Structure 1
Amino acid sequence: MNQLVDTRAIVTGASRGLGRGVMEAFLAEGASVVAVARDTGPLTELAARDPRLQLVAADASDPAVAARLLRRESFSMNWNTDVQITFHWLREALVLPLHRGSRIIVMSSGAAIMGSPLSGGYAGAKATQRFMADYASQEARRANLEISVSAVLPRLTPATELGRAAAAAYATRMGVPFEDYLRQLGTPLTPEIAGAAFVRLAAGLDAADAYMLSADGLQPLSNATPGERRPLPAGVKEER
């Protein structure tokens, strides 16, 4: 059981026959399923009981339907994983709440600041993680919970499978050899450096709301947190 937890599937012809059997088996194994059928009526009761089932009434033979769904699911992938994970864990940590003095570290990405034009919704999802870490930090202070929340934004590194694939894609986009692009990135951030940085945070040796993480370690980001109102320059009036 639960062989497909944290996976997302699109099943066509899902309202009856073999397609329905496949869809139900995927749900039973923990997957989130987008069920595509001309008539989704037979699935409405099941969808009402299981929020992991999303119904799409469409003709799966239409190329436009395939293009639309594949683009949408690709774009939404990080929102349906990273953002949801961050939201639910932060919420439970505050509602419980954790013991006083607890520290929460949210792994975001440098793409939250620098963008990631080849990655669909990735950068937006990572920026949202940073926002949520800041919101949780504010709420912890408001409730006097003595729980600290920090977001860590690692820079792109070829030392991970995801980072290496991204670096290769950007090298191709720029029309430069992969090794040349790696040299432009400088000394890579390694898992060992990341581990040492998280230990430092967990030990309470740093206390900023957000950090950029590179091969040089943690660098605190601006004191103005994402959800904080910043003062306007002299002579500038706020428009409402």
Structure 2
Amino acid sequence: MRKREEEATIMKLENQRAVVTGGSRGLGLGAVEALVDRGVKVTVVARTAGDLEAVGGRLGVATIAADVTDREAAAKILAEARPTILLLNAGAPPAMAPLDEHSWESFSNTWETDVKAGLHWLQAAISTPLEAGSRVLVGSSGAAVNGSPMSGGYAGAKRMLWIMANYAERLSAERNLGIRFQTVVPRQMIAGTGVGDAASSAYCAKLGTSLDKYMERFGAPMPPRQFGEYIISVLTRPEFETPRAFNLKGDDGVTILEDAAA
């Protein structure tokens, strides 16, 4: 994979500046590891100081403890870090229950976290603005395509993030900002992540099956570090420069989910 990056790349990663929200564990941490391995100067933004201290000490990245739903924090971090790569990965595990058992509070928790954070960070990327040629990758979910009946408003929240990334891409084009906004859509549950563990446990209980049996339906696993390698592919491969959204899956790697608008 590294040889292919060197042969044909649309973004040389060494010495680029990246900000990764939710980068202290799970998928975000996998992306941080892959970026650091390519010589990217990474700033990790997360809420938990202990997790940040651990990742900062191990990988030598800059860390910022912040609430990603804080609009002022988003604007301040982007203004100071000036990233050329922004990965919006932070989010809350959904409350798991059938539709008729949700309160509005449990149903909407991912709207109050994931969507709210996405709005503020996308707004900040445009208003700062990030420099021309920057890439903004918005983390979504396969639930945005297929739904997730035990996850309350989660599927809709992840679809909204995808739509918001497209809105931001249009604004960038209209204003000649030169910033590319794209959505990455993991198409399987991933063990060892907050969302993956919460959702797989709930569906196993509902179906009366074991975790191993349930996870087999997704094919080859996609651990966080593999996710990180797929993020590298999105950033560097020429065929991924303009599409709006990508499938990420252990069996298939990165494939185009939504092409650029005509």
Which TM-score bucket, shorter chain as reference? Answer: 0.5 to 0.7
Check the 8 A contact 1:6/1:81 in 2, yes or no. no
- For the pair shown, which has the larger CA radius of gyration, 1 or 2? 1
In structure 2, relative to structure 1, the CA distance for the partners of 1:117 and 1:153 (3 Å cut) is same
1:176 aligned onto 2:212: no
Corresponding residue number in structure 1 for 2:258? 222
One of 125, 147, 151 as aligned partner of 1:115: 147
Moved more, 71-80 or 203-212: 203-212
SS at match of 2:181: strand
Which is bigger in relative contact order (C-alpha 8 A, separation at least 6)?
2
User: Which letter maps to 2:135?
Assistant: R
Written as runs of structure 1 = structure 2, the 5 A alignment for 1:1-240 is 71-155=103-187, 156-203=189-236, 205=238, 206-207=240-241, 208-215=243-250, 216-223=252-259
Check the 8 A contact 2:133/2:180 in 1, yes or no. yes
SS at match of 2:217: helix
User: Which letter maps to 1:182?
Assistant: M
What 5-or-longer segments of structure 2 have no aligned partner? 1-45, 49-66, 70-101
SS at match of 2:198: helix
Return the offset for 1:6: 7.0
How many residue pairs get matched? 163
In structure 2, what is the Cα distance between the partners aligned to 1:95 and 1:113?
30
What 5-or-longer segments of structure 1 have no aligned partner? 8-29, 33-69, 229-240
SS at match of 1:192: helix
Return the offset for 1:217: 1.9
User: Which letter maps to 1:196?
Assistant: E
In structure 2, what is the Cα distance between the partners aligned to 1:6 and 1:164?
20
* TM-score, normalised relative to structure 2: 0.57
SS at match of 1:150: strand
Q: CA RMSD in A?
A: 2.6
* TM-score, normalised relative to structure 1: 0.62
